[in-house]
Amino acid sequence: MILVVGGAGYIGSHIVKELIKSTKVVIFDNLSTGHGWAVDNNAIFIQGDLGKEEDLEKVFSTYSIDAVMHFAANSLVEESVINPWKYYENNVAATLTLLKIMMKYGVKNFIFSSTAAIYGIPKEDFLTEQSLTNPINPYGRSKLIIEQILEDFSQAYGMRYVVLRYFNAAGAHESSLIGESHDPETHLIPIILQHLLGKREKVLVFGSDYNTRDGTCIRDYIHVTDLAHAHILSLNALLTGKKQTATYNLGNGTGYSVKEVIEACEAVTGRQATIEYVERRMGDPSQLIASSEKINRELGWKAKIKLPEIIESAWSWHKKMVGLEKENSLEHADWFVIKNRDRYL
Ligand code: UFG
């Protein structure tokens, strides 16, 4: 049985959809940023706080957990610059509590969601796992601290882990049942699509004076379903003993500027965006592009979904969201899952 911490969130819920095909899943989430409607009905759902030992004890004492996948984190770069305490409390201290309870119950397999933000300002065009880690914001630092803790725990306690460093996760599930939905939304692709659906007046482009081909930031966008496949391969590598510890970058290996992403969204939707160039956002590096050669070589993973298809899947989801919001059925779905939860506690 696999415990998915943060399984009601954007990335966690997509991984659950893959996992549930072959194994039993327990989702643990406090629904602070996740959604009741994103909880897979075939999984067991426990609502609880990662930082509370008693909530975690309830899970580990009830279920026989083989491995933990940990997605619960705050992940907004600018917010982390403004309120670092929140990031060290929720991303570092709470994860330490989780690791402590795992050790107590002898659960040693761990998959950790890390980020490209640990690299800071890259010195090379393609970031490999060997590239210098020098985060320029508290969010990146909070993730790097856990990576280092995992190294120490593996030496001292025999912890087995895979760290997955995501570049820019985007897109939605092929079913359009789940997709990206943050409140407030800060991510580029959902913001552009919300604008093209008439929910925002314009798209603000943060900075046009970066040292890039068109002056806007370059990122490597990776579909959540591609991320999900990497998680399954990593889990199998741990459970079969193929890997004791590993760290992998997950990206497409192609960088798109903010302007290029807007143009790609216009091409997919056939709609024209209104853009306004504004100041740089705090904590943003100019360019982040992955080399994912290592996971390709060791586990046979390669991203399959390119930017236009990523945007198409997100577009289907966002159009559906608009319909659901009109009918108020999202609220209903949230209520339904939370009611069902009582069966399991
Ligand atoms: N951007 C805009 N306008 C917007 C929103 C974003 O110009 O309205 C720009 C950002 O400045 C950035 C790019 O679009 O240059 C992508 O921004 P996102 O907010 O979509 O994503 P980030 O690159 O900030 O963050 C993502 C993940 C983080 C991860 C980070 C690595 O969400 O978890 O990549 O830097 F840490």
pLDDT (0 to 100) of residue 327: 64
Beta bridge partners of 246: 162
Q: Give the other-Cβ count within 10 Å of 35's Cβ.
A: 20
pLDDT (0 to 100) of residue 322: 76
Q: Choose the residue to mutate in 147, 252, 281 for probing ligand 1, maximizing ligand atoms within 8 Å of C-beta.
A: 281
Tell me, in angstroms, the distance from the centre of ligand 1 to residue 321's CA: 22
pLDDT (0 to 100) of residue 329: 56
Instruction: Output the tens digit of pLDDT for each of the chain's 345 residues.
Output: 999 999 999 999 999 999 999 999 999 999 999 999 999 999 999 999 999 999 999 999 999 999 999 999 999 998 999 999 999 999 999 999 999 999 999 999 999 999 999 999 999 999 999 999 999 999 999 999 999 999 999 999 999 999 999 999 999 999 988 999 888 899 999 999 999 999 999 999 999 999 999 999 999 999 999 999 999 999 999 999 999 999 999 999 999 999 999 999 999 999 999 999 999 998 899 999 999 999 999 999 999 999 999 999 999 999 988 777 766 555 444 433 443 443 333
- Active-site residue flag, 157: no
Residue bearing the CA closest to ligand 1, atom 30: 117
Tell me, in angstroms, the distance from the centre of ligand 1 to residue 106's CA: 37
pTM across the whole model: 0.94
